[in-house]
Structure 1
Amino acid sequence: MTVALVVLVVLFLFMFIGVPIAISLILASISGFLASIYYIPLEVVPQRLITSVDSFPLLAIPFFMLTGEFMMSGSMGRRIAAFAFASVGWVKSGLAQVSTLTSMFFAGISGSGAADTAAVGKMMIPMMEQKGYDKGFAAATVASAGTIAVVIPPSIPMIVYGVTAGVSIGSLFTAGIVPGILIGLSIMLLNYWLTKKNNYSEEATKFEFATFKKTFFEGILALILPLFIIFGIRGGIFTPTEAGAAAAAYAFIINKFVYKDMQWKDVPEAFIKAGKMTAMVVFIIAAANLFGWLLTAEQIPHQLVQLVSGFSDNRYLVLLMFTVIFFIAGCFLNASAAITILTPLLLPIAIAAGIDPIFFGLIMVVNLSIGLITPPVGLDLFVVKGIADVSYDKIIKSVIPFIIVMVVDLLIITFFPAISMFWV
């Protein structure tokens, strides 16, 4: 355990002084090599960094990133937002509901919480401010809804877990559908209560079936993309990586040749943006894999299994322990890094307690999705802070009710597994 203590102290020290998470993980791993009683040559560092990302399923990440960029380069994103307006924009203070429903639609395409939050936030936060919504509330609503993107498939954290744990990514995607919808509906109910409580001035309009029908048919080619991805994977038509490539090609063709509103000059920019986001995610995965390899080499997972087994083998107590660990980890670590580090450590404990690896992955991802809106490193909070131009303290205060609701959703999903696993 001496090595584990050394690497954890070094890791949190570097994170505390502002060193990027990937660099912190690499430096902490090197400190563990030096502290180990075994000789571990430093040549292991580049070897593990390279081999850890030498994986075909991980190719799905850049493809889904590219799909999201293509979607926003044309009018697919605007058409989805228009349909969301027609669906729920007619209720009192409906803009808050529109932002959540739009995020749910976007979640079925991008797979990235930050990308989803940025895309929806740029559209919805200025509109909500113009209608008299509090800036903090508008930012908190969009940030919270952005967390759904890592639960509803295609989810990049689920891809990372599937690769790390060696389980079916398609089954993970299927398990995430109902929990994602549950979280989205819970946020919408909270929005309704908060807007009524704070008496926001936006007036309700009448539901217009003609507008609903018009926006549905105008946006149907964008709206069916998530179904195209899910049923393609579950039907065995293509793998998750092939689904990502097919989705990117589909988004490009629809925007360029059907809607005809994406320019050729937009294509290189989309590739560059997707490449930058992919590089960030993959670098974190590689560094976290090195960190996890060190802990495994020091037999930390085996020691943890023995420790927890001696404490309790009750399935529900083990699930509750996982929930606490994941929630704390989500406050400090990027989801991909947390999954890569914690999966080798905790999955053996889950299996020993009789927990399905798919279900274990689901509750890990749902839990870490809350980390996108919890301080001190909630990524979605920093995204909306820049868009809304509001203080970090105000966003944190406004986001607390959303965190509470999502924790309740998490407990429901955790202790009633049939909700998500009945059709996996």
Structure 2
Amino acid sequence: MTVALVALGVLFLLMLIGVPIAISLIWASVAGFLASIYYVPLEVIPQRLITSTDSFPLLAIPFFMLTGEFMMSGSMGRRIAAFAFATVGWIRAGLAQVSTLTSMFFAGISGSGAADTAAVGKMMIPMMEQKGYDKGFAAATVASAGTIAVVIPPSIPMIVYGVTAGVSIGDLFTAGIVPGIIIGLSIMMLNYWITRKNNYSEEAGKFEFTTFRRTLVEGALALVLPLIIIFGIRGGIFTPTEAGAAAAAYAFIINKFVYKDMDWKDIPESFLRAGKMTAMVVFIIAAANLFGWLLTAEQIPQQLTQLVTSISDNKLLILLMFNIIFFIAGCFLNASAAITILTPLLLPIAMGVGIDPVFFGVVMVVNLSIGLITPPVGLDLFIVKGIADVSYDKLIRAVTPFIIVMVFDLLLITYFPALSMFLTGI
């Protein structure tokens, strides 16, 4: 336990002074090794960093990143947004609802909350400001909707959990569909209430079937991509990694040869951006794996299991304890890092009291998605802050109602497992 305390103390100290999370995890691991009573050669560190990422399923991450980049390089993103406008843009709080629905569609393609938030924010925040929406509300709406990207498949955190826990990524993807929709609908209801309460915008119209049909036809090839991914995996046509490759190839072919609005010069830039994002995620995964290996070597999971079960073996109470741990972790850690560290520690406890590992993964990912909009390190907040040019204090006040609503969604998903698990049995 002393080793764990030393490692955790170094980790939080480094994070407190602004050291990047991956570097903090590595140095915390080094401190833990040095504090151990057992001799651990430091050559183990680079070995563990490399071998922890030597995983075929993790190749899905760069492919889905590349899919998102190809989508935004051509007109697929604009066509999806146009369909969202035709679907919900005519109701009260229309632009806020369009932002949320567009994020839900984008979530089914890239799997990255940061990428979706940036893409939708650049399109929608300026439009919402022009229509009279408060800057803070516009930014908070986009940031909150961006969290759906890590719940609705394909989800990069779910891929990380699947690899770490050794469970079916296809089942995780399927189990994330309904929770993602629940979160999206709850955000849209909150949008309506806040807009009406503060009279941000009075735009309202009527549903135009002609426009809806036209945008559906124009965007059909883009909108069908999430279905190709899900049904391809569930139907056993390809693995999640192969699904990522197929999705990237599909996005490239449709944009380049069907829509004909992607230039050849866009391709290297798309690869570069996807490569940078992938490197960031994989570096964090490698560092978190090293840290998790240290904790496992010191038998922290066994000690934690004994501690938790000595308090209670009630499944509902343990789920509540897990959610508190995940929520706190999400405030400070990247989702991939939190998953890699916490899964080996807490999954044995969950399975010991009869919690399905797929369901446990869904609860963890949904909870950690809230961390994208919680201070102090909520990534989505910093993205929209730069786009909207709004103060951090104002943004925190605006996003607080969304955090509260998403916590209620989390509790609903946690204590009614059938909402997420019934599709996995189909």
Query: TM-score scaled to structure 2, two decimals?
Result: 0.99
SS of the residue corresponding to residue 110 of structure 1 reads coil
In the alignment, the residues of structure 2 paired with residue 266 and residue 423 of structure 1 have an alpha-carbon distance, to the nearest angstrom, of: 38
Residue 249 of structure 1 corresponds to 249
Structure 2 Cα separation of the partners of residues 351 and 237 of structure 1: 30
Partner of 1:75: 75
Task: Write the distance in 2 (CA, Å) between the matches of 1:334 and 1:65.
Answer: 17
Per the alignment, residue 407 of structure 2 pairs with 407
Match of 1:134 in 2: 134
Spell out, residue by residue over 1:170-228, the C-alpha distance to the aligned partner (whole angstroms, 9 max, x if none).
Answer: 00000000000000000000000000000123421221100000000000000000000
Q: Distance in 2 between matches of 1:198 and 1:44?
A: 58
Supply the AA of the counterpart residue of 1:62.
P
Where does the alignment leave 5 or more consecutive residues of structure 1 unmatched?
Answer: none
Check conservation: 1:132, 1:202, Cα contact below 8 A: no
Q: Deviations over 1:70-98 (max 9, x none)?
A: 00000000000000000000012200000
Number of the residue aligned with 2:175 = 175
Q: 3-state DSSP class of the match of 1:323?
A: helix
Query: SS in structure 2 opposite 1:187?
Result: helix
Is the CA contact 1:150–1:156 (under 8 Å) kept in the aligned structure 2? yes
Mapping of residues 261-410 of structure 1, within 5 Å: 261-410=261-410
Q: Which runs of 5+ in 2 are unaligned?
A: none
* 1:151-179 deviation per Cα after TM superposition (whole angstroms, max 9, x unaligned): 00000000000000000000000000000
**Per-residue CA shift, 1:30-53, capped at 9, x if unaligned?**
000000011111001000000000
- What is the correspondence of 1:148-187 to structure 2 with a 5 Å cutoff? 148-187=148-187
The Cα of 1:422 is off from its aligned counterpart by 1.1
Aligned to 2:10: 10
User: C-alpha offsets along residues 391-424 of structure 1, whole Å, 9 cap, x if unaligned?
Assistant: 1111100000000000000000000001110121
2: distance between equivalents of 1:290 and 1:69? 30
**In structure 1, what residue type is equivalent to 2:398?**
S
Counterpart Cα distance in 2 of 1:169 and 1:92:
38
Shift of 1:310: 1.1
Verify: 1:59 aligned to 2:59, yes or no. Answer: yes
- Name the SS for the 1:380 alignment partner: helix
1:91-115, Cα deviation, whole Å (9 max, x unpaired): 1220000000000000000100000
Q: CA RMSD in A?
A: 0.5
Q: Secondary structure at the match of 2:245?
A: helix
Following TM superposition, the consecutive aligned residue runs of length 4 or more in structure 1 with deviations greater than 3 angstroms are: none
Residue 311 of structure 1, CA deviation? 1.1
- Taking the aligned partners of 1:71 and 1:145, their CA distance within structure 2 comes to 18
- Aligned twin of 2:190: 190
Q: Percent identity?
A: 86
SS of the residue 2:152 aligns to: coil
- TM normalised by structure 1 equals 1.00
**Secondary structure of the structure 1 residue equivalent to 2:267:** helix
The aligned counterpart of 2:231 is 231
Q: What's the secondary structure of 1:39's corresponding residue?
A: coil
Question: Could you say which residue in structure 2 is the equivalent of 1:417?
Answer: 417
2:423 alignment partner, SS class? coil
**2:396, 2:100 → 1: CA distance?**
18
2:354 is paired with a residue whose SS is coil
User: 1:20-67, CA deviations, whole angstroms, 9 ceiling, x for partnerless residues?
Assistant: 000000000000000001111100100000000000000000000000
State the AA in 1 paired with 2:35: A
Could you list the per-position Cα deviations for residues 344-370 of structure 1 after superposition, in whole angstroms to 9, with x for gaps in the alignment? Answer: 000000010110000000000000000
Q: Distance in 2 between matches of 1:423 and 1:355?
A: 17
Q: Is the CA contact (8 Å cut-off) linking 1:89 and 1:98 kept in structure 2?
A: yes
Counterpart of 1:123? 123
Decide which moves more: 200-209 or 174-183: 200-209
| Secondary structure of residue in 1 paired with 2:133 | coil
Which residue identity lines up with residue 45 of structure 1 in the other structure? Answer: I
